Amino acid sequence: MKKPLFTVSELEAAAKVVYSHLQPSPQIHWPQLSARTGAHVIVKHENHLPTGAFKVRGGVTFIDWLKREHSDARGIITATRGNHGQSQARAAIAAGLVAKIYVPRGNSVEKNAAMRAYGGEVIEFGEDFDEAKAEAIRVSESEGLFVVPPFHTELLRGVATYGYELLTAHPDLDTIYVAIGCGSGICSTIAARDALGLKTKIVGVVSENAQTAKLSVEAGRLVETNSANTFADGMAVRVPVKSAVDIYGPGADRIISVSDDEVAHAIRAYYTDIHNLAEGAGAAPLAGLIKEKDVMQDKKIALILGGGNIDSAWFAQVLQGKTPTV
């Protein structure tokens, strides 16, 4: 049997660090969503955390590790579509460090504003996340800043605390649906499940316009895509992360894709049913469950509502029955 990525004691230690900065997020059974899908639905509300997304947990543990192991670092540099950048800016600035954040041109106006509000310097570069990431890495040495990758053990250590909270509260879950971008969310969920020795199935959800994770697992090798044009920006990744694929490839039960129309429908469902905001990647797990509802009847299911940071203009379009385009 493969050794779990983290032990229970390591997750508990990570939780102590995370809880020194924020409270656990709730996991709530919603009968409205259960009626919509036919499953017994639990929502893990990472949208209720500071920064409005699960990434804040990884920011806390990564910067804690950086301060201990690289005490000479003057700051960090990273790339993001928004939520990772908010988490790093919030934690780095609080620790007295510089935070330089690269985003692609045309990135979410409101996420950019949030990163600046937390004290980050936001630079727009490139046409998508992967081009912004390459530029951040290129300039890191000349800037004297520590590169925060989108996927790293010290990020997972913090993010895995949401899975630990969820699965200790509901160890009898049949399936958890979680969105995939670079992979920290699904890999941390798998890590928490494995640490607890549970059999819960993990289903990864990608955008049909950004299928690098799904294609890589199906092919048994890394498969880049030519584009990742989806308004669900947290899933808009062209280049897979090998260390993440190595975890969710064997660790996920399956990976499914959803359309932007299905994501928009799920955003509306979250708002009309339980009056919660979900951004595209945050709503994708619900879109996945709705797509598979015929085979999930009466099963106990959890959805990771990973973030609620949708721009107001896009949300207005969604509420009008439209699907935003990029």
Q: Residues 96, 57: contact at Cβ < 8 Å?
A: no
Question: How far from 114 is each of 82, 87, 117, 314, CA to CA, in Å?
Answer: 8, 10, 5, 17
Residue 277 pLDDT more than 70?
yes
Bridge partner list, 53: 307
In what order do the strands lie in the sheet containing 98-103? 121-124, 98-103, 75-79, 146-148
Q: What are the residues whose beta carbons fall under 8 Å from the beta carbon of 77, sequence distance 6 or more?
A: 99, 100, 101, 102, 136, 139, 140, 143, 145, 146, 147, 148
The half-sphere exposure of 190 on its side-chain side, counting CA atoms within 13 A, is 25
**CA–CA separation, 173 and 46 (whole Å):** 18
Residue 2 pLDDT more than 80?
no
In this prediction, residue 255 carries a pLDDT of 98
Query: What CATH fold (topology level) applies to the domain 8-54+153-319?
Result: Rossmann fold (3.40.50)
Residue 1 pLDDT more than 70?
no
Rounded mean pLDDT of 215-244? 95
Domain at 55-148, CATH from 3.90.580.10, 1.25.40.10, 3.40.50.300, 3.40.50.1100: 3.40.50.1100
Residue 3 pLDDT more than 90?
no
Q: Answer yes or no: pTM beyond 0.85.
A: yes
Asked, colleague to colleague, whether 8-54+153-319 and 55-148 share their fold, the answer is: yes
pLDDT band at 326 (very low <50, low <70, confident <90, very high): confident
Residue ranges covered by each domain of the chain: 8-54+153-319, 55-148
Share of the chain above pLDDT 90, in %: 97
Question: How far from 150 is each of 29, 81, 136, 157, 242, CA to CA, in Å?
Answer: 31, 11, 12, 13, 12
